[in-house]
Structure 1
């Protein structure tokens, strides 16, 4: 399975201009498949249903991802009374097993704590991060990611801890164009993360492709104005969220069980991938709502830059190719890029509004 040209690390690949594709989020995908319960989204499936996690990693790898992110969201001492250590170790093993089948990298991931909003105890919060990091160090992941942070201050603490190990650190915040929940602008958030030692900075989750790219433009501008250099990373939702407020899709009345009408098409994600690439982003992936076919859309759009198509493309005709063999003439006429690129898909829901009013 040809996914990466070399065994180089994350920074070497990004420095060379290689496009790195991160696998999608496991949370909503595994919830829909019956393996994760909504709420804290703790990843017990890693040890309760390892085959489900392994299969999803495999599908993302086949679709074109060359980073396998450990399924360790909320797998920390503050969120789980027990098993969190076992989950972190097992998640690393699963990610490494699948990554080895495609010469992909393994990224150990931590997220914001549940206690930061109640009390900003830097020492206690850093201890939580450090305990998770110890598991990643034992399993020797290739690099580490601090993801899904609402507040730059806590994200900076995470980066400072992760830097202790000496492996490259990526840091992404779940913020939109308005910035973090303390009112810090995206550009300033990025500056603080870079100064703390993150080599890769960006955003993940909470907002759809369009909003995430708008935020990334502000991130890039902030770094440039401060004279700082960092690789850019974006992992948007697989949902359209133009009507959500500062808190993102968690404020929408459809969250988390009624989001399906908002799912992005594969063509939406191809546009997202191209716009991200043109913006200078080289680490491109997805978060909640992303399925393997969305990852494949990124890989297919950027195949000219990567130099190859993913294995999953063997069963997919780019821009509708293959439809020209269909028995219906009007469907054969859709076997062209112009048709799909300009399609305005209908929702099929005649009594539903096009936008919602967020709860907050």
Structure 2
């Protein structure tokens, strides 16, 4: 029997996958702003292909595309074109089909509700979590990923329900250094998640790799002070948003349709992966904006620790080594780590688009 999440974390590093909603929006299968997962019914092959790309990039985990698949969110976002049950059933099937192509785990994703922000109370909110969990448990996901929560109280309720499944629970909040939307500091959030029963604690989305590392550092300090030792996880987004407020990249004027100029490079991700590892993070991946080549960068940076390279490295050599035989000498000269580590990328834009095309 293949090792489960906790066994793999005890043995070394687990590489998660990347961002599904934004990657599929760019490919034409998800509506920006809604971010709901109808693609698992409408375009199953597109979802499978993205799973497969993350698998080839070195992911040890493939997450079911079940983000925002709660019935209360679906009613608001898309008029309930599909039910939570329909979406989660299809998402599990697609993920399991691709996971069978490699030695990877399937994570069943449980996300925030509208009911909590509407003040509906614990009983109603947890009933929505149970509805999400039904298909995930029926399809025998390997562990549960409770992610993208703005309030620590809601994620505590989610963890409590998830624990009843008997599966390992990884929990992450979409918060930065200022803490959750009720002003609970990151350290306290981490302690409360661990005490609620999360085996893995961390942060995902909203903030770039730099700010995400700042936040997980605060979480680790608080956990250490309380003598708590959950595994740590980070899944930042793939857009630089340093200087933005507590909503991270959502506050960028380019969100959600023109973020390309803020995209982190694969070399930024190499440095993020190394810094996260040295901090003690053992489950790392990415969220919105993280494409398969970003995940490959994590896998390649930590190849020694993991004892392997990802399959897609057959067509790629880290730090530009593969361009050493370019027909142009000035390009071949870039085939070294120093060039890429010290590069400051530019957008090449002297002004707004309206200026370019006059």
Q: TM-score with structure 1 length normalisation?
A: 0.94
| Pair 1:7 & 2:17 matched | no
Match of 1:61 among 42, 55, 62: 55
CA-CA distance at 1:115 after TM superposition: 2.3
CA distance in 1, matches of 2:191, 2:198: 10
Partner residue of 1:284?
284
1:184-220 per-residue CA deviation (whole Å, 9 max, x = no partner) reads 1111000000000000000000000000000000010
Q: Is the 8 A contact 2:33 2:256 kept in 1?
A: no
Q: Which residue of 1 aligns with 2:144?
A: 144
Provide the rounded CA distance (Å) in 1 between the counterparts of 2:314 and 2:190. 39
SS of aligned partner of 1:165? coil
Secondary structure of 1:182's counterpart equals: coil
Structure-1 residue corresponding to 2:106? 106
Q: Which one is further off, 19-28 or 51-60?
A: 19-28
SS of aligned partner of 1:321: helix
Task: Name the SS for the 1:109 alignment partner.
Answer: strand
User: How far did residue 61 of structure 1 move?
Assistant: 0.3
SS in 1 for 2:239: coil
Residue 358 of structure 1 corresponds to none
Structure (1 or 2) with the greater helix fraction: 2
CA contact (8 A) 2:115 2:124 kept: no
Query: How far apart, in 2, do the equivalents of 1:118 and 1:111 lie?
Result: 15
Unmatched tracts of structure 1, length 5 or more: 1-5, 353-360
Matched, 1:76 2:48: no
The equivalent residue for 1:332 is: 332
Match of 2:285, SS state, is strand
Name the TM-score, length of structure 2 as normaliser: 0.95
Match status 1:50 vs 2:44: yes
Local SS of the residue matching 2:73: coil
- Cα deviations by residue, 1:31-62 (Å, 9 ceiling, x for unpaired): 01100001231100001000000000000000
Distance 2:73 2:172 in 1: 20
SS at match of 1:286: coil
> CA separation in 2, counterparts of 1:255 and 1:184?
26
Q: Aligned to 1:351, what secondary structure does the other structure show? A: coil
- SS of the aligned residue for 2:114 comes to coil
Counterpart check, 1:159 vs 2:159:
yes
Matched residue SS, 1:330: helix
The alpha carbon displacement at 1:15 in A equals 1.4
- Contact kept, 8 Å, 2:299 with 2:309, in 1: the verdict is yes
Contact 2:187 2:222 in 1 (8 A): yes
Task: Give yes or no for contact 1:149–1:155 (8 Å, CA) kept in 2.
Answer: yes
For 1:120 and 1:175, the matched residues in 2 are separated by: 22
Retained in 2: the 8 A contact 1:40–1:79?
Answer: no
Structure 2 CA distance for aligned equivalents of residues 322 and 68 of structure 1: 28
Q: State the match for 1:21 in structure 2.
A: 15
Cα deviation, 1:131-153, whole Å, max 9, x if unaligned, reads 11111110010000110000000
SS in 1 for 2:3: coil
- 2:146–2:159 Cα contact (<8 Å) kept: yes
Structure 1 stretch 343-352 or stretch 131-140: which is displaced more? 343-352
Moved over 3 A (4+): none
Q: Deviations over 1:104-144 (max 9, x none)?
A: 00000011112222214110000000111111110010000
For residues 101 and 126 of structure 2, what CA distance do their matches in structure 1 show?
Answer: 34
Per-residue CA distance 1:240-270 (angstroms, 9 max, x = gap): 1112101111122111011110000000000
Given that 2:240 and 2:249 are in contact with CA atoms closer than 8 Å, whether structure 1 keeps it comes out as no
3-state SS of 1:144 partner: strand
Contact 1:202–1:233 (Cα < 8 Å) also in 2: yes
> What corresponds to 2:356 in structure 1?
none
Q: Equivalences for 1:83-232 in 2 at 5 Å?
A: 83-232=83-232
CA contact (8 A) 1:110 1:132 kept: yes
Query: 1:321 & 1:213 partners in 2: Cα distance?
Result: 28
Unaligned runs of 5+ in 2: 75-79, 353-358
- The 10-residue stretch of structure 1 (339-348 or 294-303) with the greater mean CA deviation from structure 2: 339-348
